[in-house]
Structure 1
Amino acid sequence: MLPWTCARAVSRRAEPSLLRGLHQVLHGSRSTASKPLQFAAHRVQLLSKTPPNIKSIFRQQHRPLSAIFASSPRSPFDSRYFSSNSAQALAPEASSESAAEEAPEPQPVLTPPAVAYWLLCTSGLVFAVTVVGAITRLTESGLSITEWRPITGILPPLSAAQWEEEFRKYQATPEFKLINHSIDIHQFKSIFYMEWGHRVLGRLIGISFVLPLVYFATRRRVLSRQLVQRLGLLGLLIGFQGALGWYMVKSGLEESLMETPGAVPRVSQYRLAAHLGAAFLLYAGMFGTGLNILYDWRYAQGAGWSGMKTEVAGTEWKKVLENPLVKRFSRYSKALTALVFVTALSGAFVAGLDAGLLYNEFPLMGGRLMPPSSELFSSSYAKKADGSDYWWRNIFENPATVQFNHRCLAMTTYASTTALWLLSKTPAMKAALPPMVQRFAMSAFAMVNVQLALGISTLLYLVPVSLAAAHQAGSVMLFTTVIHLLVSLRRPGAAARAYRAATAKAKGLQR
C-alpha cells in the first residue's frame, strides 16, 4: 500500500504516468526485469523526475527507500554493486523474456572510493617502512633484536631488568663481539629502538590492511570475488614479508661468522634484496589497485578517461589504445617499470655489501670508467673447486662488481626514462597519447633526475644516513611515477564501462 499512499499525498503534483512508472520501479515488472540495461535507465529517469516530497514520505516509513528498492529486481548497474577489478563480462541481452529468467545476468561490482583511499593510505605505510628499513640498515641497528616475537615483541623492554636481559642477548651476537663490543646499554637502546620501530611499523601495516579487508569483504557487494582474491594475496605477502625479514636478520646472527676470517657481521645481501623486492611488490599491488579503483569510479561517474575531455559515451579510449603508437609506448613503459625494479634490487646488494664505500667518485671508478677486469672478476670469490660459481659469485658478492653493476643499471634507467619522455614529446606521439600519460612521462623524467642527483651525492659524501635514506625514498618515488604511468594507459574496468553506458542511456531517454 505504500506506493498508493505516496500517490495520494502528491496527486496534485505528480503525473499519473510518473506514479505508474514509480510503481514499476518499486515492485518491478517482468518486462523491465528481464532487460537490466533498459530497467536501469528507466529507473534513473523516473527517480530524477520524482518530486522531493515523495522521497520525504519514504524516509518517514518503517523501511528506508534503499530497503524498498532491495525488495525489487535489482539493476546490475547500481553504482554500489560494481567493481573496477571485476573480470565478469556483461552477458548479452536475452532474446526473450523466458531466456532472461532462466539465465540472469551477472552483477559486476563497482568498488567504492573508500576502498581506494584505504589501499593508497596503506601503500603510504609501506613506503614509510622501506625508508625506515633503509635507516635501520644504515645505522647498523637491524641485529639489535635477537628474537622474533610477532605478538609479544610489540612492547619494548619496560624495566631495567628487561633492558639488561635484552642487552645480554645482544652481547652474545657476532656483531657485538667483533664490532660493537665497546657500547654501553644506553647506546644499545638507541639502536634497539630503531629496529623495534621498524618492526612495529610492519605490524601496523598488517593490522591496517587485514582488518579493513575483512570489513569490506564481509559487506555485501562491496568487493568483487576477483578483488577479494587479489587483496587476499597481498595480505599473505605481508605475512611472508614479516617472516622474510626475520629470515634476513637471522643471517647476521649466525655463529659461523666468528669462524670465518675477515667476515663482517651483517645480513645476507641476497635476503636483503629479497626483503626489499617483496616490499616493492607489496607497494605496487596496493598502490596500483587503489589507483585502478579510484579512476574506474571517476570514469563511471562521467569523468574523462586518462585526463581526456568528458564524453557522453566515454568510448574514445578504445581508439587511443588501439593506436599502434600508443601500444608501442605502453610496451616501453612496462619495460621501464621492470628496469626501475631491477635497479632498486641492485641497490640492495650495494647496501648489503657496503659497496657504496668502495669507489666514492663519479663517473670514474679509480680514475677509470670501470675497474680492471681482475678486480671485477676475482677467483677468490669462487667457492667450488671447479670454479663453476666464478661468474655469478663475482656479480653478486664482489663489492666492486656490485657497485659497477648498480651504476650501469642506474644510468640505463636514466637514459631509458629520458628517452621515453622525449618520445612522448614527438608530434606524432603527442597527438596520440592522452594528457595524463604525457604528464606522468614528464613526472618520471623529473623524478629520475632527482634520483640521479641523490645517488651521486650519496656516493661522493661517503654514504651519509640522510642522503642514503633519501636515495632509498627516491627509488620508491620513481617506481610510483612509472606505476602511475602504467595505470594511465589502462582501459576502464568492465563494471565502470557498464555503469557509464547505463547512465548515458538514461540521459538519452530523458531527452
Structure 2
Amino acid sequence: MPILAPPAVGGWLMGSATLVLAIIVVGGVTRLTESGLSITEWKPITGVVPPITREEWEAEFAKYKETPEFKLLNHSITVEEFKSIFFWEWGHRVLGRLIGVAFVGPLAYFALRKKIDGRMTRRLFGLGLLIGAQGALGWYMVKSGLDNKHLEIPGSVPRVSQYRLAAHLGTAFLLYLGMFGTGLSIIKDWKYAKGAAWSGSTTGDISKILQNPVVKRIKVASWALMGLVFVTAMSGAFVAGLDAGLLYNEFPLMGGRLAPPSDELFDPAYAKNADKSDLWWRNIFENPTTVQFDHRVLAITTYLGTTALWLRTLNPAVRAALPPLATTAIRAAFTMANIQVLLGISTLLYLVPIPLAAAHQAGSVMLLSAMTHVLISLRRPGGAARLWRRFNATQATVKKTQP
C-alpha cells in the first residue's frame, strides 16, 4: 500500500501557512510604518539578537544615519524613535527565521519516519528552498532602498523598488498557497480514505461528477478567477511600493471622473528611452496614478468575476451538478470578496490607515485561500487515498462476513 500522509502532516502545513500569513501582515505593517530600511545589514544568524546595551543601540543608530532615508527624511529622529521602527523590521526578520525552523525540522522528521512519500517530500523540500530564497529576496529588496543613488536624484524618496517588493510579496503568497493547499488536500484525502464523503457528495461516482460539463466549466472559471485574484494582489504590491494609495482618495471616481486624463495615465516623463518605446509599460508599473487605476480595474473585475461565479451556483441545475462543499466554498469566496472590497475602499477613503491597510493585505490572502478551497473541493482525491479507501472498505466487509 502507498504511503498516505496522516492528518498531523496536514496540520503542520496549515500551521506553517498561518505563520506565513502572519509574516505577510507584519511585513505590511513594517512597510506602512516605514520601518523596512531601519536595519542596514543582513545577518541570518547573529541578527536574531537585537541591540541590548546603550552602546549597541548607538552603534546600530549610527549605521542607520548613513542611509538615504535618514539623511533625506528622518534626520531629526532620536535613538528612542529609531527603536520603534527597528523592532518592526527585526520582528519581521525573526518571524521569517522562525518559519524556516518550524518548517524544516518537522519536514525532516516526517520524511525520515516515512510519513510522506517521495513525491511529497520533493514537493515540500521545494517549499523549504523557497523559504530560503524568500529571505535572500527580502534582503535584495531592502538593498534597493539603501542605495545612495537616492541622494543624487532630485526629489527622490528613499523606498524599496516596487518591482522587488512585488517579487518578495508574490513569493510569500506562493509559499502560503503551497503550504495551505497541500495541507488542506492531505487532511481531506485522509478523511476520504477513512470513508468520509468526497466534498459532501452522497454519490460515490466522483469521475461522473467531474466529467459533467457544468462542473468542468465551473472548475475552469475557478482557475481563471484564482489567477485574477493573484494578479490583483500583485498590482496591490505596486500600489504599496509607490504609495499610490495616497492619490485620488475617492471612489468610484478619480478626480471627478471614472478615469484620469490619458496624459496623466501615460505621462511621457516616465519614459526613459529616447523614442518613448517604453512609455506604456513604465507608466503601468512606475506611474502611481496608473498603478492605482489598474488596481481598481483589476479589483472590480475580480469582484464581478466572483459574483458571477456565485450567481451560477444559484441555478438549480448547477447546484445539483456541483458537490455540496464546492457550492459552500464558492459562497465563502463571494463573502470574502465583499469584505475585501469594503476593506480596499475604506483604506483608500481614509488615506491608508495602518490597521485598515494591514487588514486589506491579509484579506487578499484570505480570498486566495477561499479560491484554493473551491479548487480543492473540485479535486479528485489522491491515488493513495483512493487505494486506502478501497482497502479499508474491503477490510470492513471481511470483518462483517466473519463469524
TM-score, length-scaled by structure 2: 0.98
| Alignment partners' CA distance in 1, 2:382 and 2:241 | 41
| Alignment partners' CA distance in 2, 1:424 and 1:213 | 39
Q: Does 1:158 align with 2:52?
A: yes
1:351 to 228, 240, 256: 240
Structure 1 residue 158 displacement after superposition: 1.3
Code of the aligned partner of 1:327:
K
| Alignment partners' CA distance in 2, 1:201 and 1:141 | 15
Q: Does 1:380 align with 2:269?
A: yes
Q: Show the counterpart of 2:175.
A: 282
Q: Does 1:366 align with 2:260?
A: no
3-state SS in 2 of match to 1:142 = coil
3-state SS in 1 of match to 2:196 = coil
| Alignment partners' CA distance in 2, 1:434 and 1:209 | 33
Q: Does 1:179 align with 2:62?
A: no
Q: Show the counterpart of 2:28.
A: 134
Structure 1 residue 196 displacement after superposition: 0.3
Q: Show the counterpart of 1:487.
A: 376
3-state SS in 2 of match to 1:252 = helix
Code of the aligned partner of 1:340:
V
Q: Show the counterpart of 2:121.
A: 228
| Alignment partners' CA distance in 2, 1:451 and 1:464 | 15
3-state SS in 1 of match to 2:341 = helix
Per-residue CA deviation, residues 430-486 of structure 1 (Å, 9 max, x unaligned), is: 000011100010001100000000000000000011110111111111111001111
Code of the aligned partner of 2:34:
E
| Alignment partners' CA distance in 1, 2:37 and 2:395 | 63
For 1:112-511, list aligned pairs within 5 A.
Answer: 112-219=6-113, 221-309=114-202, 315-509=204-398, 510-511=400-401
| Alignment partners' CA distance in 2, 1:508 and 1:247 | 60
| Alignment partners' CA distance in 1, 2:391 and 2:358 | 49
List gaps (5 residues or longer) in structure 2: none
Structure 1 residue 307 displacement after superposition: 1.4
| Alignment partners' CA distance in 2, 1:506 and 1:455 | 53
3-state SS in 2 of match to 1:387 = coil
Which of these two proteins has the greater Rg computed from alpha carbons?
A: 1
| Alignment partners' CA distance in 2, 1:301 and 1:241 | 37
Code of the aligned partner of 2:314:
K
| Alignment partners' CA distance in 2, 1:506 and 1:457 | 57
| Alignment partners' CA distance in 2, 1:387 and 1:281 | 34
Structure 1 residue 508 displacement after superposition: 2.9
Structure 1 residue 181 displacement after superposition: 0.6
| Alignment partners' CA distance in 1, 2:193 and 2:79 | 59
Identity %: 65
Structure 1 residue 506 displacement after superposition: 2.6
| Alignment partners' CA distance in 2, 1:117 and 1:440 | 20
| Alignment partners' CA distance in 2, 1:271 and 1:396 | 12
TM-score, length-scaled by structure 1: 0.78
Code of the aligned partner of 1:391:
W
Structure 1 residue 422 displacement after superposition: 0.5
| Alignment partners' CA distance in 1, 2:251 and 2:319 | 35
| Alignment partners' CA distance in 1, 2:11 and 2:391 | 26
Structure 1 residue 383 displacement after superposition: 0.8
For 1:15-54, list aligned pairs within 5 A.
Answer: none
Per-residue CA deviation, residues 363-390 of structure 1 (Å, 9 max, x unaligned), is: 0000000000000001100111121211
Structure 1 residue 507 displacement after superposition: 2.8
For 1:102-121, list aligned pairs within 5 A.
Answer: 108-121=2-15
Code of the aligned partner of 2:352:
V
Per-residue CA deviation, residues 178-213 of structure 1 (Å, 9 max, x unaligned), is: 000110000000000010000000110000000100
**RMSD between aligned residues:** 0.8
Structure 1 residue 503 displacement after superposition: 1.8
3-state SS in 1 of match to 2:146 = coil
3-state SS in 2 of match to 1:371 = coil
| Alignment partners' CA distance in 1, 2:273 and 2:208 | 57
Greater helix percent: which structure? Answer: 2
Per-residue CA deviation, residues 64-114 of structure 1 (Å, 9 max, x unaligned), is: xxxxxxxxxxxx2xxxxxxxxxxxxxxxxxxxxxxxxxxxxxxx1111111
| Alignment partners' CA distance in 2, 1:324 and 1:185 | 65
| Count of equivalent residues | 400
List gaps (5 residues or longer) in structure 1: 1-75, 77-107
